[in-house]
Structure 1
Amino acid sequence: MTFGGDVVARSGVVTGVGVIAPGGIGCDAYWKSLLRGDVSLDRVDLEGCTDLPLRVAGQVRDFDPQTLVENRLLVQTDRFTHFAMAAADMAVRDARLTADPEAPFDIGVATAAGCGGVTFGQREMQELWGRGPRFVGPYQSIAWFYAASTGQISIRGGFCGPCAVLANDEAGGLDVLAHSCRALRNGARAVVTGATEAPLAPYAMVCQLGYPELSLAQDPRRAYQPFTEHACGFSPAEGGAMFVVEREESARRRGAAVRARIAGHAATFTGTRGWEHSREGLARAIRGALAEADCTPDEVDVVFADALGVPAADHAEALALADALGARAADVPVTAPKAGFGRAFSAAAALDVAAAVLALEHDTVPPTPNVADVRVDLDVVTGRARTTALRTALVLSRGLMGCNSALVLRRDDEPRT
């Protein structure tokens, strides 16, 4: 993991994945949606949001928190934490991970968040200004906070190991996995980690209107078209993904199925001087991640692109891939499934990681929905999913405030027990 030139060697494997996405809840539904190239973007119909200039987003419509989260916790927490708890439960079940009462500090929790509990916070602020401070509930002090998901997952699961939250722009969704691997290196046996967001509330959507990169298009089929001449910004989304990341020797010892290996990561910061400056920072992050993974450009089999949907940003990303991968950049399959369901801020990267794990398992690259006429020198997969041998995936993320991150995932080649 590279921060300011500091490279930390580490080993971590993914043994559990849980997904809450506009296209489906759970890995199976999510993967089928990705393979079909579904477009889950739609007109926002939430109360208080229908008259705002932002008209199109990716909503998770089939999520019933009352069937997945205890009632006593529902009233204490925001929707983004409901997503996190439900996805964490899925990941823990998938990994068959249990906390050992004799060793409660072996398992930690780390999440990334960029928006926090905006729906809960807005409701309580309305009570404050409309009815007075006596009508503000006691949970306002924690439910809006970025760390709420980490805390609730830790308490519910009895995971008393190292816990953290990264409020690190969109790139935090990748950086949190590297942070979790550092915790493994420092003694943790496993970390429940990932990112979820729920930014579709009136106050939060008004705040997002300050982003010039936000798409205000009204047609869901035209709102988010990265790498094309029609690109007019990104559509936001809610949802996210959680993972169980373990020390490899621990996972092997307990017979866990290793779904992917976290092989390398690097991060840089290029600030807000213009998207053209992200080229150098992203290229440096890619090179750093490949170096840590001991991976050559020719070994990269698929790229899950950041795909902001802004012409200058898309062009810079294509140039960064050319800088870092050389001639391989024009040939490696590139995909951006988020074009079909939206960009869920820090959770966008986590959803891409989940998609990459599934792609490696199925030797299939999901298509980029809504995209046909590609205007960059990349082999962007459009139309149909592409079947091809996959061993190494490169996942990219950039934040609106200038963070750049790259993560290398490898398929596990060890025979499963």
Structure 2
Amino acid sequence: MSARTLVTGIGVAAPSGLGVEDFWAATRVGKNAIGPVTRFDASSYPARLAGEIHGFDPKDHLPGRLVPQTDRVTQLALVAADCAFEDAGIAPGDIHPCDMGVVTAAGSGGLAFGENELRKLWSRGAKHVSAYQSFAWFYAVNSGQISVRNDLRGPTGVFVGDQTSGLDALAHARRRLGKGSRLIATGGFDASICSLGWAAHLAGGSLSTSDEPERAYLPFDEAARGYVPGEGGAMLVLEDEDSARARGARNVYAEFAGYGATLDPRPGSGRPPGLRRAIDAALADAGCHPAEVDVVFADGAGVPRLDREEAEAITAVFGPRGVPVTAPKTMTGRISAGGAPIDVVCAVLAMREGLIPPTTNVELSPAHDIDLVAVRPRTASVHTALVLARGGGGFNAAAVVRAVD
């Protein structure tokens, strides 16, 4: 690509804060946002903790006509997109609508909306089902609603791949910029904290059943027992550097510099997992030597086997304790498609402040030879960050984010 891909705007909706500044104020000090589920009655389920966004009323942020048409996941995505565009300073007419697009990642679509309408179908009959059910549940609805609300008439798409899809979406946005688009809004969201979504989480077999918010989700800890789900995500405005400079972009947070993706081999094949190859591909794509990386934002599955595989991949690339590693998602839970975009936002904010947020509550297992930034934040000069994500089914993705001099 002839020009770099720049991050010029960010918006966040996370359990630890709605909006970038509130989110970072909580994240930088390690404030826990995991607690008992309140969005439905989870008392009869074996898992009862989640990272929920409290105090969010869509009517405070969106037109009244839009609220009954949309699931919570779309409402959060729309609000984060509004924040990202405002942060980027994009005004109507700055860029032609056909030169702007949107690519999002989805974990499960509008599950809560769909569940409510199915309940109406079973209990009251088909005539009581909302007409908006036809699209409110769909994986691509966030891309569609964001494009309509912001008059984005360029390339539009959606990626579905659990945790990795957030990085896949950002990488595809970069590809679209390389093909001539000037701006792509991109990111990922999930909001599956409802009884239907909970059943899906439980079926995966990796959900933590601890009732202790501070000890339920512990990646790289000997006491790791699975993950805690969270909700939310992040939107980023990506622009071609030439276009951003030409319009006088007021914020240039970082460069989305490299990306790699792989698929793990079939279980029992004897071949190694694919995460290291994804890391190598992302570094090569960015023209980046491992010694240049200042921090790794880990996937942090909280499942012993997956934690071991990730720690081994990091050690293989960077050497024993060769680079600081953090997983701030221990404060929010794993947010599926929204998790990696939030980590990318964490990376650019770490560059801005010179501070690596902590992996809260975790005591590093001696089995993992990594330099985990645990319990407390660490002051550091952050110029280059590596973000990792792994999804169900063996998906691996890695991205390099680099400060712009």
TM norm structure 2: 0.96
**How many angstroms does 1:232 deviate by?**
0.2
Are the counterparts in 2 of residues 306 and 396 from structure 1 also a CA contact under 8 Å?
A: yes
Does residue 1:387 correspond to 2:387, yes or no?
no
Shift of 1:206: 1.1
Aligned-pair identity in percent equals: 45
Structure 1 counterpart of 2:362, one-letter code? V
Q: Could you say what secondary structure the match of 2:138 adopts?
A: coil
The Cα offsets for residues 23-70 of structure 1, whole Å up to 9 and x where unpaired, read as: 111111111111111111001122333322221110000212111111
For the aligned residue pairs, the C-alpha RMSD in angstroms reads 1.7
Distance 1:387 1:274, change over 3 A: farther
- Shift in CA distance, 409/35, structure 1 to aligned 2, threshold 3 Å: same
The one of 345, 352, 360 equivalent to 2:336 is 345
Q: Do the aligned partners of 1:275 and 1:316 also contact (CA within 8 Å) in 2? A: no
Counterpart in the other structure of 1:268: 262
Contact 1:226 1:310 in 2 (8 A): yes
Find the counterpart in structure 1 of residue 325 from structure 2.
334
Please, what TM-score do these two structures have when normalized by structure 1? 0.93
* Residue aligning to 1:306: 299
SS of 2:255's equivalent? strand
**Quick one: which of 113, 135, 143 aligns to 1:142?**
135
Q: Which residue of 2 aligns with 1:80?
A: 73
1:243 is paired with a residue whose SS is strand
In 2, Cα distance between the equivalents of 1:255 and 1:355? Answer: 24
Structure 2 partner of 1:237: 230
Per the alignment, residue 5 of structure 1 pairs with none
For residue 69 of structure 2, give the secondary structure of its aligned residue in structure 1. Answer: coil
Whichever residue aligns with residue 31 of structure 2, its letter is D
Aligned residues: 403
1 CA distance for matches of 2:212 and 2:2? 46
- What amino acid does structure 1 have at the position aligned with 2:348? V
Displacement after TM superposition at 1:271 (Å):
5.5
What CA deviation, in whole Å up to 9, does each residue of 1:238-262 have, x standing for no partner?
A: 0110010000111111111210101
SS of alignment partner, residue 306 of structure 1: coil
Change (3 A) 1:15 1:213: same
Paired residue for 1:396?
A: 388
> Quick check: 1:227 aligned with 2:220?
yes
Q: In the alignment, which of 365, 374, 394 is matched to residue 356 of structure 2?
A: 365
Distance 1:101 1:245, change over 3 A: closer
Q: In structure 2, what is the Cα distance between the partners aligned to 1:292 and 1:58?
A: 34
CA distance in 2, matches of 1:402, 1:391: 30
Change (3 A) 1:79 1:92: same
Q: Which runs of 5+ in 1 are unaligned?
A: 1-7
Instruction: Classify 1:345/1:9 alpha carbon distance in 2 versus 1 (closer, same or farther; 3 Å).
Output: farther
SS across alignment from 1:401: coil
- After TM superposition, give the deviation of residue 323 of structure 1 in Å: 2.2
Aligned to 2:159: 166
Contact between 2:294 and 2:382, CA under 8 Å: does it hold in 1? yes
Distance across 2 between alignment mates of 1:373 and 1:276 = 28
**2:370 corresponds to:** 378
Tell me by how many angstroms 1:275 deviates: 12
Q: Which runs of 4+ in 1 moved over 4 A?
A: 274-277
Counterpart CA distance in 1 for 2:344 and 2:377 is 17
Partner of residue 205 from structure 1, selected from 174, 198, 202: 198
**Alignment CA distance shift 1:193-1:343 (3 Å):** same
Contact 2:322/2:370 (<8 A) preserved: yes
Is 2:176 aligned against 1:183?
A: yes
CA distance in 2, matches of 1:201, 1:15: 34
Shift of 1:263: 0.6
Q: Is this contact kept in 1: 2:9–2:236, CA < 8 A?
A: yes
Question: Structure 1 residues 276, 317: CA separation in 2 closer, same or farther (over 3 Å shift)?
Answer: farther
* Helix, strand or coil at the partner of 1:71: coil
Q: Distance in 2 between matches of 1:303 and 1:274?
A: 29
- Distance, in Å, in 1 between the alignment partners of 2:352 and 2:55 is 26
**Counterpart residue number, 1:280:** 273
Alignment deviations for residues 273-298 of structure 1 (CA, whole Å, 9 cap, x no partner):
28996x53110000000001110010
Q: How far, CA to CA, are the matches of 1:240 and 1:114 in structure 2? A: 11
SS in 2 for 1:36: coil
| Structure 2 spans left out of the alignment, 5+ residues | none
Report the 3-state secondary structure (helix = DSSP H, G, I; strand = E; otherwise coil) of the residue aligned with 1:384: coil
Structure 2 letter corresponding to 1:371: V
Cα distance between partner residues in 2 of 1:178 and 1:11: 13
